[in-house]
Amino acid sequence: MIELRNDRLAFSFPEVHRDARCSISFMRTLRIPDDDHEYPLPPGLGPFPLHHVDDYADRVPQGWSDHGGVFMPMYQAEALWISFDGQYPMAVKVSAGKIDAVTGKPFRNELRRRPQDYVVIPDQPWLDGFCVRKGLIRQFVAMPLGQGYTAEEQLTGAAEHGGLQIVAYPMKASRYEKLMAERIFAHYDMDAICCSPPEPSAMGLAPGGMMRQEVYPDDHGYSAWERDVRSRCFVHLLNSGQYRTVTGFAPPYEPPTAGDYTEAGLPWFEYFDTDLEALEGAPRLDRLDSVGARRVKEGKPPLDEGANVKPKPAQIERLRKNHAVRDESSAW
Amino acid sequence: MAFGGYIREVRELRRRGDRSFSLRQVAGRVGIEPAYLSKIERGQTPPPSERTIRRLASELDEDADVLLAMAGKVSQDLQEIVMLRPKLFADLLRQLREAPDHAVLRVAREIRDGDW
């Protein structure tokens, strides 16, 4: 089952094992420059607020009630990263607009072994974007559906789904017990308002700037997963401009630009796990236009990233598994 | 167990593995005087404010709601939830009063999965 707890999706599979729990949250962050340079990991600026679609069924865009799930507000061109937290191994599929973020293939509920279309908790502490090449991702950036920027629209030609789709599979209890006995776990130390409201608008995720991040292969093997048991959630993205109209709450503040953040001397991050190789990226995703590239093609000015986005070495904190804390919300 | 005694027990347990859990250092991190924390632990003063209890819970990796309950308090956010719909929540809580844990857990709200 999945519950909403403190703006986190709390997954639990008591029918598999009492320890089979994990949580997934969606972190606000800087949009890194979309200039084909490679950037380290930007900080977390706190989680996006999440709401049950059912609580606002009469005000959310058409079709969302059919999907069920949750929704959260995002500004146009705002970025996010997905934080995975838990000790019990889980295989988690992440799709944007029903395009798999690891392989670029169309969404399906089942786990795919080759190419691996899922990430493994707790090896993978977070995912910041589409896995385009080995060790490189393109940042998740929210764009309105219907303008052609999202991965979904570029790959399918249709703006049908938007949002994020998450499916989690727990490890088989027997494998988990064996792992516990061997005690080979990695222990993570992780923790525009309208007078006459327009139709609330849905958003999808487009590929943004390039970031150094590895998506790790399944170290447990395909047979480790309880493939008959899964929980899934559709995470809708609501344009922040309509958030108050739908929920009555003020949307979160706009995040600082990457330039302002860097100028303030605040940290960026690099994560490395020397034990694990990275998955190859997905050529299908690598061929997509980033938001910046598409704007150039359309003769539009680049998005404002602020000046001097060059994190100095002293600003880059290197994180290992036991120091994988990247949420700098307290700094803001 | 009384609130103060429990805090002392947990802090001392942590201190065995990490000397930064001394009375002085914990008090410093929580933002209170060591003498005040000492009095709290020995039950010589009533439990501190919700804010301080929350900081203690965070510092000692304990559940804030459990510590608040031990101190005879209910957290402000829970009070606000009940005050918003008093009859509904009062009825619900009374009905669940004798229910076993697993029955209470079933009341937890699941995120609905639809057709997509």
Within this chain, do residues B62 and B12 fall inside the same structural domain, yes or no?
Answer: yes
- Residue A213 CA to residue A129 CA, distance in Å, equals 9
- Residue B81 CA to residue B50 CA, distance in Å, equals 17
Contacts of A71 (CB under 8 A, 6+ apart): A50, A51, A53, A56, A60, A64, A163, A235, A236, A237, A238
Within this chain, do residues B65 and B82 fall inside the same structural domain, yes or no?
Answer: no
- Residue B79 CA to residue A35 CA, distance in Å, equals 50
Chain B contact residues (CB < 8 Å to A): 108-116
- Residue B111 and residue A161: Cβ atoms within 8 Å? no
Within this chain, do residues B48 and B100 fall inside the same structural domain, yes or no?
Answer: no
Closest Cα in chain A, distance from residue B44 (Å): 34
Within this chain, do residues B64 and B95 fall inside the same structural domain, yes or no?
Answer: no
Domain count, chain B: 2
DSSP 8-state class, residue B104: H
Helix, strand, coil fractions of chain A, as percent rounded to 5: 20, 30, 50
- Residue A9 and residue B111: Cβ atoms within 8 Å? yes
pLDDT in tens, A240-268: 989 999 999 999 988 889 988 888 888 88
CB A52 within 8 A of CB B112: yes
- Residue A144 CA to residue A76 CA, distance in Å, equals 7
DSSP 8-state class, residue A50: -
Helix, strand, coil fractions of chain B, as percent rounded to 5: 70, 0, 30
Within this chain, do residues B63 and B83 fall inside the same structural domain, yes or no?
Answer: no
Within this chain, do residues B46 and B102 fall inside the same structural domain, yes or no?
Answer: no
pLDDT in tens, B53-80: 999 999 998 999 999 999 999 999 999 9
Within this chain, do residues B18 and B44 fall inside the same structural domain, yes or no?
Answer: yes
The domain limits of chain A are: 2-331
- Per CB-CB distance under 8 Å, the chain B contacts of A161 are 116
Classify residue B22: in a domain, yes or no.
yes
- Residue A2 and residue B114: Cβ atoms within 8 Å? no
Q: Which residues sit opposite A27 in a β-bridge?
A: A47, A81
Output the pLDDT for position B109.
83
A220-245 burial: b if 16+ Cβ within 10 Å, else e: beeebbbeeebbbbbbbbbbbbbbbb
- Residue A308 CA to residue B92 CA, distance in Å, equals 56
Closest Cα in chain B, distance from residue A255 (Å): 27
Within this chain, do residues B60 and B22 fall inside the same structural domain, yes or no?
Answer: yes
Secondary structure element (H or E) that encloses residue B11, with its range: helix B3-17
Q: Which of A124, A101, A104, A98 is nearest to A24 (CA)?
A: A124
CB A69 within 8 A of CB B113: yes
| DSSP result, A159-187 | ----SEEEEEEEBPHHHHHHHHHHT----
Strands A136-144 and A129-133 turn out to be antiparallel
What phi, psi does A239 have (nearest 5°)?
-60, 130
Q: How many residues does chain B have?
A: 116
Complex-level ipTM: 0.79
- Residue A161 and residue B109: Cβ atoms within 8 Å? no
| Sign for the pseudo-dihedral over CA of A69, A74, A80, A85 | negative
- Tens-level pLDDT at each residue, chain B (116 residues): 699 999 999 999 999 989 999 999 999 999 999 999 999 999 999 999 999 999 999 999 899 999 999 999 999 999 999 999 999 999 989 988 888 877 777 777 888 899 99
- Residue A139 CA to residue A317 CA, distance in Å, equals 19
Within this chain, do residues B37 and B83 fall inside the same structural domain, yes or no?
Answer: no
Within this chain, do residues B51 and B98 fall inside the same structural domain, yes or no?
Answer: no
| DSSP result, A292-310 | HHHHHHTTPPPPP--S---
Indicate the residue type of A3.
E
Within this chain, do residues B58 and B34 fall inside the same structural domain, yes or no?
Answer: yes
**Closest in A9, A52, A67 to B115, CB measured:** A67
Its domain, for residue B50, covers: 3-70
Classify residue B85: in a domain, yes or no.
yes
Classify residue B115: in a domain, yes or no.
no
Within this chain, do residues B91 and B56 fall inside the same structural domain, yes or no?
Answer: no
Classify residue B30: in a domain, yes or no.
yes
For A234, the token pair is 């559709």
Classify residue B34: in a domain, yes or no.
yes
CATH code at position B54? 1.10.260.40
| Sign for the pseudo-dihedral over CA of A158, A164, A169, A171 | positive
For B70, the token pair is 């031990």
- Average pLDDT of adjacent 10-residue blocks, chain A of 332 residues: 92 92 95 90 92 93 92 95 94 97 96 94 94 95 94 95 96 93 54 48 93 92 95 95 91 90 86 80 95 92 77 76 60 38
